[in-house]
Structure 1
Amino acid sequence: MGWLVTGGAGYIGSHVSHALLEAGIPVVVIDDLSSGFEHFVPESATFVRGTLLDRNLLENTFRHYDLHGVIHIAGYKYAGESVNRPLHTYEQNVSAMVSLLQAMELAGVDRIVFSSSAATYGTPDTEVVDETTPTEPESPYGETKLIGEWLLRDAARATGLRHTSLRYFNVVGSGSELLYDASPHNLFPKVFDILYRGATPCINGEDYPTPDGTCVRDYIHVRDLALAHVAAASRLDDGLPMQPVYNLGSGKGTSVREIMTAIRTVTGIDFEPRVTPRRPGDPARIVAAGDLAARDLGWAMRHSLEDMVASAWAARRHAGEAYPSS
């Protein structure tokens, strides 16, 4: 019996799919390729092209394949852009999840790992957030992720659905030169693509209430994230107790300016970033503690910031001119 990975042709989803297969777990990927790539899907995985809004496709997928769990990663993941596209964000992140949960209930699939976000916290008034920190999202993206967690909670009360949600923020790096983050809105791919093309990257705002005035985030390696998803799925399979929410974080933050310095050092490209106005929906600081996930999921930061930069830069260079330009 296998697991369905929604959004499994994307940057994060493909890493999760590879990690599941390495653990001996069969994988079916569903993805509409709006931001993913079919060549990211592992050869030994089954690929179904389509949207989660298509209930018939979902029901046929569950009917045709021997699935007993879902890792739900698909969605519209851009906090800043969600402010400009709230209805699209709600459709992709809430309506699609309702459709998925309905199809799961009809098929008798009773376990799910949800890819949530630290954006559910908004701008917390504490240096490091844990799972008890109040959730006060500041963008439609963060709101939809929190609603997704509520959907799981309520479905569990009604049907006994077994679930957990993994909250994280900036996922970077690469587990393979063949897999890269092509988002036009995420910091690492934006900066790397600009540098690859010989231009100068920018920093969105330097007047935040942080030590150097730029946003502070918790950066984690995509490979570490993927292993946490596999551990969560395995724990659900084993019937072990699970927390409804786990933070996946380092417990310490890195500012955007510090990221720029690391990129300059690792790539050997000398540049001074331009400063542009803030983006709407960007909180000043989010750093998460991963203690609960370390206890239950074996969560650990196995990669340094330099590892994250070097692996992501290697994947961008390997893609060359085939990399999708924004």
Structure 2
Amino acid sequence: MSWIVTGGAGYIGSHVVRALADAGLTPVILDDLSSGVASFVPEGVAFVQGSILDRALVEKTLRDHDAEGVIHVAGYKYAGVSVQRPLHTYAQNVEGTRVILEAMDAAGVANIVFSSSAAVFGTPDTALVVEDTAKRPASPYGESKLIGEWLLRDQAIATADSDAPLRHTSLRYFNVVGSADPTVYDVSPHNLFPIVFEKLIAGETPRINGDDYDTEDGTNVRDYVHVGDIAAAHVAAAKRLAGGEPIEAAYNLGSGDGLSVKQIMDAVARVTGIDFAPEIGPRRPGDPDRIVATGELAARDLDWKMRYTVDEMVRTGWEARQAAS
């Protein structure tokens, strides 16, 4: 039996694929390569190129590879850009999830791990986010991820008395960084680490957006979690589903304390050996001082923990990006 990893040729998905294989499970990648990278597909792993919107292809992939479950990582992940492209975001993230669930139902596949997002919380009233913190997504991206969670919930209710009742969980996280494989790096043009790395490679100075926040050093604080830890949590969730063990509908994969942008910049300078003083730009509208999630439930059920220091996060990401040059 296998686990189908949608978006398995992407930065996060390809790490999930490697973690599955390392755990003795059989991953199968389904990816249309719209943002995935063909070279991220490990040798020997089955790869189906196509869209999650292709209902027939999704069902055929599930049947052909005797799928035990799906780890659904594919999606349009750019929160800021989603404001300009809401229809595209909803098509990929909402309709794509609906199609996967429909194909799973037809193929009798009952387990799904959904890669959700801390964007479902929007700008919460509390600096420390827990699973039941109010959901107020501030972008079409965040809304689409929350709707995805609703789809899983509703399909589980609808299939509760069937031969294959849906078992599911959603994993929410903020900023995924680093690399657990030197051949895989973050290719997003919108994430902090690749933005800073590309600036340094080009001989330019990275920028901090605002240094007057109500935090210890004046720069805003967020969760930064290593991609290797994120991948391990997906695999632990898949195993728990397949084993019929109790599982929560959603888990926050958070650090509990967070890191400031200045701390990240200081670590980048230390690790790369490039001495720079970041430029200070204006605040981004609506950017809160601090948002950090706890990971207590995930630690209890999914062996979630922060296994990497900030310097290790930077080092692994920088080395993977350098190897690609």
Bin of the TM-score, shorter chain as denominator length = over 0.9
Task: Report what 1:19 is aligned to.
Answer: 19
Q: Distance in 1 between matches of 2:32 and 2:140?
A: 22
1:215 Cα deviation after fit: 2.8
Distance 1:87 1:206, change over 3 A: farther
Change (3 A) 1:35 1:283: farther
The residue aligned with 1:324 is: none
User: Aligned partners of 1:72 and 1:133: how far apart in 2?
Assistant: 23
Q: Which residue of 2 aligns with 1:219?
A: 224
CA contact (8 A) 1:123 1:283 kept: yes
Distance in structure 1 (CA, Å) of the matches to 2:136 and 2:217: 25
Taking a change above 3 Å as real, the CA distance of residues 32 and 267 of structure 1, as seen in their structure-2 partners, is same
Measure, in 1, the Cα distance between the counterparts of 2:63 and 2:300: 36
Matched AA of 2:306: M
User: d(CA) in 2 for partners of 1:13 and 1:312?
Assistant: 16
Answer yes or no: is the 8 Å Cα contact 1:6–1:31 preserved in 2.
Answer: yes
Q: What is the correspondence of 1:173-252 to structure 2 with a 5 Å cutoff? A: 173-252=178-257
What letter matches 1:169 in structure 2? F
Distance 1:164 1:120 in 2: 15
2:317 to 283, 299, 312: 312
State the distance in 1 between where 2:245 and 2:316 align. Answer: 34
**Residue 167 of structure 1, aligned match among 163, 169, 172:** 172
The aligned counterpart of 2:89 is: 89
**C-alpha distance 35-73 of structure 1, shift in aligned 2 (>3 A):** same
Aligned partner of 2:162 in structure 1 is: none
Offset of 1:278 from its aligned partner?
Answer: 4.3
1:123, 1:285 within 8 Å by CA — same for their partners in 2?
Answer: no
CA–CA separation in structure 2 for the residues paired with 1:193 and 1:256: 17
User: Counterpart of 2:128 in 1: which secondary structure?
Assistant: coil
Asked if the contact 1:193–1:316 (Cα under 8 Å) also holds between the matched residues in 2, the reply is no
Q: Residue 64 of structure 1: CA displacement? A: 1.6
- TM-score normalised by L of structure 1: 0.94
In 2, Cα distance between the equivalents of 1:7 and 1:138?
Answer: 24
| Cross-structure match for 1:70 | 70
Q: How far apart are 1:274 and its partner, in Å?
A: 2.2
5+ residue gaps, structure 1, are 321-326
> Which letter does structure 1 place at the counterpart of 2:309?
S
Task: Provide Cα deviations, 1:21-74, integer angstroms capped at 9, x if missing partner.
Answer: 011111110111111111111212100111111112112212221112000000
1:42 is aligned to: 42
Residue identity matched to 1:272: A
Q: What is the CA deviation profile of residues 253-298 of structure 1, one whole-angstrom value per residue up to 9, with x for unaligned ones? A: 1111221111111111111222334446754432010011111111
CA contact (8 A) 1:80 1:282 kept: no
The amino acid that maps onto 1:5 is V
Shift of 1:227: 0.6
CA distance in structure 2 between the aligned counterparts of 1:164 and 1:62, rounded to whole angstroms: 19
Per-residue deviation, 1:152: 0.4
Q: In the alignment, what sits opposite 2:9?
A: 9
Unaligned runs of 5+ in 2: 160-164
Give the superposition deviation at 1:214: 3.0
1:134 pairs with 2:134:
yes
The Cα of 1:121 is off from its aligned counterpart by 1.0
Report the AA paired with residue 322 of structure 2: R
Matched residue, 2:157: 157
Instruction: Give the corresponding residue for 1:55.
Output: 55
Distance 1:144 1:281, change over 3 A: farther
Could you tell me whether the CA contact under 8 Å between 1:196 and 1:317 is conserved in 2? no
Per-residue deviation, 1:136: 1.1
What value does the CA root-mean-square deviation take over the aligned residues?
1.4
Distance (Å, rounded) in 2 between the aligned partners of 1:286 and 1:249: 10
Measure, in 2, the Cα distance between the counterparts of 1:269 and 1:256. 17
Counterpart CA distance in 1 for 2:156 and 2:44 is 32
